[in-house]
Amino acid sequence: MARRYKKVNRSLGGDIATVLFLLLIGAFMVLPMLYAIGSSFKPNDELFRFPPTIFPQNWVTTNYTDLFVLMNTSWVPFTRYFFNTLFITAAGTIGQIVCCSLCAFALSLHRFPGNRFITKLIELALMFNGAVLWIPSYMIMSSLGFINTQWALIVPVFSSAMGLHLIRSFMTQIPMAVVEAARVDGASHLRVFWSIVMPNIKSAWLTLMIFAVQGLWNAGASIYIQSESLKTIAYALQQIISVGIARAGVGNAVTVVMMAVPIVMFVISQSNIIETMATSGMKD
């Protein structure tokens, strides 16, 4: 008996309409980025022209050269600002992923008194704006002796309610049968966490990594740091363009420089996120 295959009916017009719709949405997403890049190559007289144009009529690189000159004439070496930002971003991102993953592991795969109450508190914390936490965070950092140190920017991000909720929602999809089988084979809690749980929630912590890098890379000096040698590259670049409209072109170059790292980070991790999102589903 010949096997019958189900024929999928597809409309050419429907496919074309879908592609056009996706292209339109993609254009709206790319347009702000193109405008920022184009504005960074515009002379000052084109920056205030109305109606504005996406690309300049006269391409110039003076905005970037002026930014480079201003960076080299700063009181603190610009490499110091860059190192501070790199250290804060790396330490904060790693710490946030580790802390959120360990806490989510305990909340999602273990049962203990107060588990549901703590989970509800985490969900409630998602409703609060970050500005509400400024005063309590400052008091905690002051009591720990972290004021005027880089740890004042690093430590608070370890307890990210959004990151913890994201990681926990993925861990709850892991079947308990897999975890119990590993325990029967003699695997410790740390071995289960590192060898079984973390590989299966790769999409979650890669997504959290992107958000963490974006937030920490763009972090300014904040209210915690007064020493100039400990401040970040975002603070230094903001000081460069704080003069006014005379440095409007340099300001657009600063915008491109600041958004380059998060974009590159997302592009590098995008394929992994899509792949793991498609293959991370597990069933008993």
Note the pLDDT of residue 281.
45
CATH number of the domain residue 267 falls in: 1.10.3720.10
Left if phi > 0, otherwise alpha if psi is -120 to 50, otherwise beta: which for 186?
Answer: left
Query: 150 lies in which domain range?
Result: 67-279
- CA separation (Å) from 213 to 91, 154, 158, 210, 219? 10, 12, 13, 5, 10
Domain-embedded: residue 94: yes
Answer whether residue 131 shows pLDDT above 60.
Answer: yes
- Range with the lowest mean pLDDT among 26-35, 46-55, 273-282? 273-282
Helix (H) or strand (E) holding 143: helix 134-144
- CA separation (Å) from 271 to 62, 85, 103, 203, 279? 36, 26, 27, 10, 12
The total domain count for the chain is 1
The position carrying tokens 């009591």 is 143
Note the pLDDT of residue 229.
82
Q: Which long-range contacts (CB under 8 A, 24 or more apart) does 270-275 make?
A: 272/202, 272/203, 272/206, 273/203, 273/206, 273/207
**CA–CA dist 91, 198 (Å, integer):** 19
**pTM tops 0.85:** no
Domain-embedded: residue 267: yes
Domain-embedded: residue 37: no
Domain-embedded: residue 36: no
Answer whether residue 158 shows pLDDT above 70.
Answer: yes
What pLDDT, in 10s, does the model give residues 85-125?
Answer: 889 999 999 999 999 999 999 888 888 888 888 888 888 88
- Range with the lowest mean pLDDT among 22-26, 34-38, 42-46, 167-171? 42-46
Compute the average pLDDT of residues 18-31: 86
Domain-embedded: residue 17: no
